[in-house]
Amino acid sequence: MTLTYQLVSKKIEHSTSWQQKYREIMLLGKTLPPLADILKTDDALVQGCESKVWMFVEFDLTENALVVIGDSDTRIVKGLLALILALYNGLTPEEVLSVNAYEEFEKLGLISHLSASRGNGINAMVEKIQTLAKQKAR
């Protein structure tokens, strides 16, 4: 797990109500820079998300690390995406494959509050990241 993820997840984890967690997630989404419109292509859309989520997953050979960028058209999903990016960015493919995003979201108390469609969207985003990591793992 990255240091960035540990920092951003701490506020969510220590929030005592769903409203506070929701607010922290939305604030986290505001930290993601918007993607340029030219990058918001159909190829970049994550299939399985109810909201529009554009995501690019690349592998930096010199750093042996995953680089993920993305954006969404809804504030809560953009916040969840920011949490996923913090969880996976900078990890080696092997480290990515060892991270269970569902367990992390459960630890933060998010799973029980997310709709089935949001849960499916999270799974779709994570699957896109995991797929590249599987291709690049040694």
Q: Which residues are catalytic?
A: 49
Residues whose CB is less than 8 angstroms from the CB of residue 102 and which lie 6 or more positions away in sequence, other chains included: 111, 122, 123, 126
Task: Output the pLDDT for position 118.
Answer: 87
117 versus 38: the higher-pLDDT residue is: 38
State how far Cα 50 lies from the chain centre: 15
- What span, in angstroms and rounded, lies between the C-alpha atoms of 108 and 12? 6
Q: 109 vs 3, which has greater pLDDT?
A: 109
Taking only the tens place, the pLDDT of each residue in 57-101 is 998 888 889 999 999 999 999 999 999 999 999 999 999 999 999
DSSP label at 32?
A: S
Chain segment 22-41, per-residue pLDDT in tens: 999 999 999 999 999 999 99
pTM (predicted TM-score): 0.91
Any residues with CB less than 8 A from the CB of 123 and at least 6 apart, and which?
48, 102
- Give the start-end residues of each E strand in the chain: 53-60, 65-72
